[in-house]
Every structure is written in C-alpha cells, then in structure tokens.
Amino acid sequence: MSIQTLNTWVDVPEGSDFSIYNLPYGIFSTNGDQPRAGVAIGTQILDLNYLQENDLLTSVDLHEGIFKKEVLNDFMALGKPVWSSLRKRLLELLDETDEELKPHAEKAFVKQSIAKMHLPVKVGDYTDFYSSEEHATNVGIMFRGKDNALMPNWKHIPVGYHGRSSSIIVSGEPFHRPQGQILPKDADRPVFGPTNLLDIELEMAFITGGATKLGETVSTENAEDYIFGMVLFNDWSARDIQKWEYVPLGPFLGKSFASSISPWIVTMDVLQYFKVDGPKQNPEVLPYLNFEGKKSYDINLEVYLKPQGGEEQKICSSNHKYLYWNMAQQLAHQTVNGCNINAGDMYGSGTISGKEPDSYGSLLELTWAGNNPIQLNDGSERKFLKDHDTIVIKGYCENDEIRIGFGEVRTEILPAKQ
C-alpha cells in the first residue's frame, strides 16, 4: 500500500516511535490536573481538549467536552468515520504548511517528560486468547508430551477465556507478587504462599470502539470497523498457582492479579500500512472464520529484563505476525454466539512466540520450565522472576518508508504483601 509522504513543523527526533505518521491516543495529566486526552508526537503530547476548546476541531463531528473525560471510551464509541476524520484534521494542523496551530503551540503541547500517563480506556470486558501455535505447542509438550501438544479444538477455534478487567494497569504501575494455593512437588495437599513461578506473557491487545447489541455478530469482513487500535500487553502469570487451579475451569487467580498495558493506543489507520499474510491455516476453518486479504500485522516485539540496580537486558524478540489466529477471526468468534461488545473492551492476543528459542514469549518457554535458566549480564540467572525485577516490553513497525512505535510497557514486581 502506497504511503503519502508527510512532513511536520513539529520537531520529531529521528527514529521516534511517535512520528507524524503515528499519532497514537492516550490520557495524560500534569501537575495534578484532571486527566484528559492527547496524541503523542515526537517527545510531546498534543492536548486534544485544548484544541476543541479553542475551536480547532470544528470540522469533526464531536460531542462537547469529549476530550475532557478521563477515558477515551466516549470518543471511541463515535465510530470509525469520526476516528478517521479527526486523524485527517490533526494531520492538517501538524503539516509543515500549517498556520492555524502554530500560534497555539506553547499551550497546545505538553512535554511527555512532565506528564503522568493513565489507563486510556475504562475496560468493561477483557478476553484473553491463546492464538500462537508455537506457544500452545511448547506448553503442550511440557505438560502433555509431544504427541498431544495441541488440544483437538485448537486449530478449529480461537481459544480464549473471559478475564478480569479491574486489574489491568498502565505502564509504570508496579504490582505485588501474588499469593495463592500451590501444590508442592510430590505433595497431595496444597499450601498457601507467594508464587515462586512468576512469569511474563508477551502479548498485544486490541481495543474495540464500536458496539453491538446482544444477539448481533461481527464478521471477519467488517471486524476492523470495530477495532480502534492496539497496545502492548504483558499478561502476567503465576505458573504454580495456575497449574493447581486451572482444571477444570481454566485461568483464575494465577492470572487475575495484574495485566499491564502501554499507555498509547496506536490506531488501525496507521497499522494498515503494516498488514502481512499470516500463517497458513490447516485444516480449513468453518465459514464464519474465513477471511479475505491480509489480516496479520508486522509488529516487532522485544522484552527486556532489568534486575534491581542492574541494566536492562533483552531476553526475547518476537513478532505479532506469528499469531495463527488473527484479530478479525478473534472478534468474529467472540461474537458468533451473539455476545455483545462495547467501546473499551480489550482483547489479548495470547502469548506471542516464534519458532526460534529466542522468540519465545514467556519465561516458561525461554527457560523450558526452569531447566535452562537465562544468564544475566550481572552474573545472576533467572528461571522465573524475582522481587524488584522490572520487565519492559517495546514494539514498533518499520518498512522502507515509515517507522512507528508503541512506546513501552514497564512494570516492577514488588514483594508479596504480608
């Protein structure tokens, strides 16, 4: 797809995640002010509430005060035509030939370095999928053996579960090591205590903007009309708590203690330039999961581990395009039974692993259940995470013409509360 060349009068450092092509949405505050909506460009945030209050967005069909709200849900609920209209207007104001916004620059822009970022949406419902064949196979081999790695349904449906939305947190917010029931090796009764097997899950999540009524369905053909954008997503796991509880009903306390997201939502308007073919699906899927065209996205992902007082060290490089089930199929499957969706709903991809060992998206895989510890530059090693470790996930898209990024999701692990 051909990309129109854009130039801006705003200073954007070379290689910035937030180039003129990106313009991701977030919620920020400064000096304790009320959180409000903005878009990132370079090292700054363009204050959307300021633009609206100063009549710079009158060409866009917006509700009064919509960017003064503490979440983006009401804006996203206006639908794709409004999202695209606002993007067009912002590109006009930021274009190198602009003379409308320049006089407002001192008040319209805020330095990212002095802003506090907040959860960009109120997450009503959260679904976590399990859509990486490599990850599902690796975990299946560990627990069931090579001959039974994938469950019989895995290549027929985008497997998922309904998760806990209240514990989704934004980058920079730490969480305490979770506690729960654990069955020690060779024991027949569980004990209670902090997890010993705290793990990452390298994921991305998409957020819906459109809504449906109960009983309605979304097809793979029009699924993208309902998807506002994407964020980086770390869906933490307490593997020992999870192992004891997940039969027969699946994830519960081993997952619901925290999931971390990046603060900037990168929209589908820009991600369209990074569409690629996904893995070939075999056997053939049922008709409601069929799709035409490119539905996967070339998004480079990196995971870094920073021990307390130490330096960040890359432990994984993966890519969103490795996912077997794409977002259109995930949303179609979510709604095929008539389940209604709303603006602000979040959908995790599931752990994203590639074929090579250094592309595995969890410590469970990277260390192969702790049998092959990761060696850190400070001489220590990790099978699973320790207190005060910090995990950083970064993501970006790049081709011969443009580069855009997601920023990062950074989270420190605090000791269990006593």
| Residues carrying an active site annotation | 135
User: Which has the closest alpha carbon to 310: 242, 243, 382, 244?
Assistant: 382
33 residue type, one letter: D
3-state secondary structure of 174: coil
How many Å apart are CA 134 and CA 323, to the nearest integer?
9
Please, are residues 259 and 232 in contact by the beta-carbon 8 Å criterion? no
414 residue type, one letter: L
How many Å apart are CA 290 and CA 281, to the nearest integer?
10
User: Which has the closest alpha carbon to 274: 256, 312, 235, 300?
Assistant: 300
Please, are residues 260 and 199 in contact by the beta-carbon 8 Å criterion? no
How many Å apart are CA 106 and CA 395, to the nearest integer?
30
Q: What per-residue string of b and e applies to 383-408 under the rule 16 or more CB within 10 Å gives b?
A: bbbeeebbbbbbbbbeeeebebbbbb
How many Å apart are CA 132 and CA 46, to the nearest integer?
36
Q: Which residues contact 262 (CB under 8 A, 6 or more apart)?
A: 170, 171, 231, 232, 233, 393, 395, 406, 407, 408, 409
Distances in Å between the Cα of 82 and the Cα atoms of 25, 209, 317 are 14, 11, 35
